[in-house]
């Protein structure tokens, strides 16, 4: 089956649905065979909002933002930090020299260097939007595993895709949008428990 490149991959995270179960983090760690102390997509917070008795707890699932204009790619001296035509930002471990320039350039803190102390493993790690699965027509593991359907992935430029419809329907927010990186992770930021 030939790979047909969509114009722009994106993810919407519906915070109304996220219950902070961390299934996405566990699925990602399993699929990528990560050590226990590496998490590509941590779920932050559990921020409590509202007043008693109308109290809600909101969680913030995070991951690499796969920016349209990533700061981490042009600064890489070896070209290990790359962006494909479909928008996926990834690191080629074979040519990464572990200089951490991309780590410092990323405003989202989503690149991991915790295992760079061992010589055989000196490369920067990060979420790849499960590009190996997605390009086979499969869903990202974090999306597939989310039983609350809080993560939605697809081609943002396809008006018929679920992610495109959600981003068009809701007043979504993107993290550090003012930096001009154009992150491709969109948050539907209403109080939890309403979806």
Q: Is the pTM of this model over 0.85?
A: yes
Residue range 129-158, pLDDT digits in tens:
999 999 999 999 999 999 999 999 999 999
156 vs 119, residue with greater confidence: 156
Q: CB-based burial of residue 24 (10 Å sphere; 0-12 exposed, 13-18 middle, 19+ buried)?
A: buried
pLDDT digits (tens, 9 = 90+) for 5-21: 557 999 999 998 999 99
Q: Is 112 helix (H, G, I), strand (E, B) or coil?
A: strand
Beta bridge partners of 9: 155
For residue 121, pLDDT over 80 is answered with no
CA distance 59 to 46: 5
Query: For residue 124, which of 195, 173, 75 has the smallest C-alpha distance?
Result: 75
Neighbouring residues of 78: CB distance < 8 A, sequence distance ≥ 6: 95, 96, 97, 99
User: Predicted confidence band at 190 (pLDDT cuts at 50, 70, 90)?
Assistant: low
How many Cβ atoms from other residues are within 10 Å of residue 162's Cβ?
Answer: 14
User: What is the pLDDT, as a whole number, of residue 56?
Assistant: 79
Of 111, 93, 106, nearest in space to 41 by CA: 111
Of 185, 173, 182, nearest to 142 by C-alpha is 185
Task: With beta carbons less than 8 A apart as the criterion, state whether 87 and 100 touch.
Answer: no
| 25-79 confidence digits (pLDDT tens) | 999 999 988 888 888 999 998 778 788 888 878 889 999 999 999 999 999 999 9
Per-residue pLDDT, 28 = 93
What pLDDT sits at residue 195?
A: 47
């Amino acid at each position: 089956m030939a790979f047909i490149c969509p114009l722009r991959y994106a993810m919407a995270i519906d915070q109304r649905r996220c219950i902070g179960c961390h299934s996405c983090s566990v699925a990602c760690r399993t699929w990528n065979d990560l050590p226990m102390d590496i998490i590509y997509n941590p779920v932050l917070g559990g921020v409590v909002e509202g007043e008693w008795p109308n109290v809600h707890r909101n969680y913030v699932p995070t991951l690499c933002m796969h920016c349209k204009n990533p700061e981490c790619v042009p600064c890489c001296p070896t070209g290990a930090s790359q962006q494909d035509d479909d928008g996926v930002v990834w690191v080629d471990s074979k040519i990464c020299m572990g200089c951490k320039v991309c780590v410092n350039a990323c405003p989202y803190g989503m690149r991991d260097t915790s295992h760079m102390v061992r010589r055989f493993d000196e490369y920067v790690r990060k979420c790849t939007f499960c590009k190996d699965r997605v390009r086979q027509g499969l869903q990202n593991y974090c999306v597939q595993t989310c039983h609350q359907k809080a993560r939605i992935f697809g081609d943002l430029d396809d008006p018929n895709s679920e992610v495109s419809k959600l981003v068009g329907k809701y007043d979504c927010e993107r993290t550090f949008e003012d930096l001009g990186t154009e992150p491709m992770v969109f948050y539907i930021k209403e109080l939890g428990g309403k979806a």
